[in-house]
Amino acid sequence: MVGTMSAAAVAVWLGSVVSILSRSHADRNVYPSAGVLFVHVLEREYFKGEFPPYPKAGEASSDPITFNTNLKGYPDRPGWLRYIQRTQHSDGVLYGSPTAEHAGRPSVIEITAYNRRTFETARHNLVINIMGTEEFPLPYQAEFYIKNMNVEEMLASEVLGDFLGAVKNIWQPDRLNAINITSALDRGGRVPLPINNLKEGVYVMVGADVAFSSCLREVESPHNQQRCSQEMEPSISCDKKFRAQFDIDWCKISLVDINRVFPVYITRPEPGNGILPEFGLYDPPSETLMSRNYFSDFLITLAVPSAVAVVLLFILGYTMCCRREGFIQLVHHNSIQKSSKELRSMSKNREISWPLSTLPVFNPVSGEVVPPLHPDNYETTSMPLMQTQTNLQNQITIPQQRPSGKWYS
């Protein structure tokens, strides 16, 4: 096929082969130690050469690039390895803390870079060779919660170096190293609101070869424990050494001495051949089982509420019909009903004449007009429903006309 191609076509074909092969780089090997924080930055600048140049000459390439990482032959990464990339224009970071269980077994991580402008991809392999040593992990471990940092900010070498320097200043160990960094979101924290430059918060675990200093032990005092229980900030003497750059929540500090932690050994049974043992023939229940009679339960369910209802009804009837208080309430209720009916009947026809008790009375002898029996300013709310002679004190007596003659004095 190559012999039938022209020289120009062969040159183009070889150029394409070279351009494709240029994207296949040799595996990159790293050698982290078990019990020590591992950080590997996926730099966008390193992968920009794998993609075509930016269309505008003289301008820096700002193509959005994202990364996908997975263990070779598997869809995801190892359990101890995490990955974060905040935006498409920022670098990605692989980080985690390998343990001694992963030592001696190289892990090949496939890194696939995606150019979101040209939709091209480039793939690299990262071979992680975990080294197991007796020096790590260090026996005394302290975990700090930093409230004003995100994971990618804390993973920066200069920021992590400043934090370790502050810890070393108050702890004074011979050896000090970062063991692990975990986002507060992975511990059940909430995503902060996008106001006032709030951060997610990170947990940073460090290890040392000497016992904890007195400053770190201050949080264990009863006074500070009480302040923490009341959600108040404890008084720590060495907090000023961190305050300038790191806002530490001292109530969430954790101090662990792994020398006092006893290992737990779990005995596992010997693996079998995968065949269940013989249990004999299946013996189903007998068909002559007596069915349960639910008639008594049904009667109890209905009889008890019915008896209670009858007793309550009897008590209510006796109180309302046979007792004096109940009879008065019935009469009072009946009078209210009659008054309501009278008001409704009067409201239906407003053309009828007013009752005599509401009209003014004319005195033919004196010529004056006597106000009605129930003037407008007369308080009727206190009038009883059944009036007696003693209740008519507020009524006005109407003068009667007396005939003239000698038989009358």
Domains of the chain and CATH, by start: 28-130 (2.60.40.10), 140-260 (no CATH)
Residue 138 has a pLDDT of 86
Q: Which pLDDT tens digit goes with each residue over 62-76?
A: 788 999 999 999 999
**298 three-state secondary structure:** helix
Q: Which pLDDT tens digit goes with each residue over 74-128?
A: 999 998 999 999 999 999 999 999 988 888 888 999 999 999 888 889 999 999 9
- What whole-number distance in Å separates Cα of residue 33 and Cα of residue 134? 10
The DSSP secondary-structure symbol of 181 reads: E
The DSSP secondary-structure symbol of 180 reads: E
Q: Which pLDDT tens digit goes with each residue over 274-292?
A: 666 777 777 777 777 777 8
- Confidence at 14, pLDDT banded by 50, 70, 90: very low
Kindly report whether the global pTM for this prediction surpasses the value 0.85.
no
Q: Which pLDDT tens digit goes with each residue over 186-195?
A: 888 888 887 7
**pLDDT of residue 200 exceeding 60:** yes
| Ramachandran angles phi, psi of 234, nearest 5° | -75, 160
Sole residue written with tokens 């090997």: 29
Residue 403 has a pLDDT of 52
Residue 7 has a pLDDT of 40
Residue 243 has a pLDDT of 86
Query: Considering Cα of 212, then 216, then 219, then 221, what sign does the dihedral take?
Result: positive
β-partners of residue 37 are none
- What whole-number distance in Å separates Cα of residue 234 and Cα of residue 215? 12
Q: Which pLDDT tens digit goes with each residue over 325-370?
A: 666 777 778 888 888 888 888 877 665 555 555 555 555 556 565 5
